[in-house]
Amino acid sequence: MIDARAEARIERNGVDAQLAPVAVTRWTARLVDPNIEQDYLLHRFEEDRRRVLLLTGLVAVASLLNFLVGYATNVPSFQTTLIPAIIGIVMPIVGFCIALRLRSPRVLQTLMMVAIVIGTLTRLSMLTLRPDTADMWTTLMVGIVFVIYLYLPIRLAGSVAVAAMFSCVAPFWWLQVLGDVLTPDVFYRGLVWVFLANALGFTAANSLQRSQRMQFAQGLVMAHLLSTDAMTGIPNRRRFDAALEREWRRCQRAGAPLSLLMIDVDHFKAYNDHCGHPQGDACLRQIAQLLVGTIKRPGDIVARYGGEEFVVLMPDIGAAGALAVANKLAAALRHADITHPRSPAGPRMTISIGAATARNLAGEPAALVEFADRLLYAAKAAGRNQISVGQLPTAGALRAA
C-alpha cells in the first residue's frame, strides 16, 4: 500500500522515456535513491512506532512481574530489588510516553539507538548488582542481539553498530564481574553463541529489510504504471482525479483559488483519418511534450484526459493567471508549427481551451471539471482555436467569457 507522500512524489510532469529502476543496496539494505528511502521510512513510521510502544510496554510489564516475584519470594533489598525495579519499570514507561509523541522516523531511530545503549548499560549494571544471575546471561545476550537486529525499527547499519558494541562490551563486563568464578569454557561458549547470534541476526535483518524495501519499490513502480498514460508518458485521468481531489481540499482549507484548463486538439479526427493512427499517436505525444515543457510550476499537473483532450490543473492561480497560461500554451503550439492538412481552421494544428477558476471551493471538485468542459464547448462553438475563460459561480447560471 503506497501512502499519499509516495503518490505525491511520483506525480511529476515530465514525459518519461522509460521508467527509472528503484534499486536496493545489497549489504546496507537501503534504497539507492535517498528521496525514496525517506518516503519508505515515512511509510513505515506508524508501524515502527507501534512496535516500539509494544516493546516498551512489554519490558515494563516484565520488569514489574520480576519485581513482584522477587518481592514475594525474598526479603526485599534496595540494591537487588528496588533499583532494578525502578530502572526496569520507570525507564520503559518514559520511553513509551516519548515514542507516543514522536512524529519523525529519524527521531524515532535516534531514540531507539539511545534506548538500546541505556538498556545495555542497565542490564550490565544488574549483572554487577546480582552476580547470581550469571548463568542466564548467555541466553540474555543472544536474545538482546536478536531484538536489536529483528525488532528495533532502525536501519541495518545502525543495528550492526549497536549489536557490535553490545557484543564487545557485554562479554568482557561479564568476565570482569565474575572474575575467577567464570570458567574459560563457559566464557568462550558464550562468545561463540554471541558471534552466531550476530551472524544469523545480520543475515535475517538484511533479508527482511531488503524484501520490505523491494516490496515498497515495486508498489511505487506499479503506482507509476497505473497512473501514467501509456502512449504519451504523462499522467493519466486516474492520477488527475486523485490530484484534483487532493488540491481541491488543500485550496479549500487555505482559501486559495484553483484553476483548470480543459484542452482539445482541434479537428484531430480529420488529422487521424488523413495521416493514419501511428502519425496521430506521434502528434499527441508531441503535443503532450509541448504542454509539459510549457508548464513550469512544480505544483501544476498536465494529464491526458481522454482521446485528444488534455487537462492542466493549477493550484493557487486565479482567472487572470489561467488565461495567461492558456495563451502561453496556444502560442507554444503555434510556434511548434505542426502541419494539419485537413483542418478547416487553417493549415496548422490548433487547440481550443476552456479555462475555469474556482475561488469559493464549496461542493465537489467535479463541478470545476464540468464547468471547464462547458467553457471548452463554448470555445469550440465559437469557431475553435479559441480560449474561453470563466469563474465557477457558487450559485446561479454559469457565466463564461
Instruction: Find all residues with CB under 8 Å of 274, minimum gap 6, and list them.
Output: 341, 342
Q: What pLDDT is recorded for position 400?
A: 45
Amino acid letter at 397?
A
pLDDT confidence tier of residue 179, bands split at 50, 70 and 90: low
Q: What pLDDT is recorded for position 12?
A: 43
Q: What pLDDT is recorded for position 16?
A: 43
pLDDT value at 312 more than 80: yes
Q: What pLDDT is recorded for position 275?
A: 87
pLDDT confidence tier of residue 1, bands split at 50, 70 and 90: very low
pLDDT confidence tier of residue 122, bands split at 50, 70 and 90: confident
Q: What is the mean pLDDT of residues 89-95?
A: 84
Q: Which has more pLDDT, 22 or 56?
A: 56
pLDDT confidence tier of residue 391, bands split at 50, 70 and 90: very high
pLDDT value at 17 more than 50: no
pLDDT value at 94 more than 70: yes
Q: Which has more pLDDT, 400 or 306?
A: 306
Residues 227, 242: contact at Cβ < 8 Å?
yes
Structural domain spans, the chain: 4-225, 237-391
Q: What pLDDT is recorded for position 344?
A: 81
Cell (9 digits) for 156: 541495518
Most confident residue range from 117-126, 228-237, 308-317: 308-317
CATH number attached to the domain at 237-391: 3.30.70.270
CA atoms within 13 A on the CB side of 219: 18
Q: What is the mean pLDDT of residues 361-368?
A: 88
Q: What pLDDT is recorded for position 177?
A: 73
Q: What pLDDT is recorded for position 250?
A: 92
Alpha-carbon distance values, 204 to 84, 162, 193, 239, 339 (Å): 32, 16, 16, 37, 61
From 67-81, 160-174, 262-276, 311-325, the region with the lowest mean pLDDT: 67-81
pTM higher than 0.85: no
Q: pLDDT per residue over 186-222, tens digit each?
A: 788 888 999 999 999 999 999 999 999 999 988 888 8
pLDDT confidence tier of residue 78, bands split at 50, 70 and 90: low
CA dihedral 261, 266, 269, 273 (to 10 degrees): -140
pLDDT value at 9 more than 70: no
Instruction: Find all residues with CB under 8 Å of 355, minimum gap 6, and list them.
Output: 259, 260, 261, 262, 319, 322, 323, 325, 326, 372, 375, 387, 388, 389, 390
Q: What pLDDT is recorded for position 165?
A: 87
User: CA 93 to CA 370: how far, in whole Å?
Assistant: 55
Residues 335, 349: contact at Cβ < 8 Å?
no
From 7-16, 23-32, 137-146, 292-301, the region with the lowest mean pLDDT: 7-16
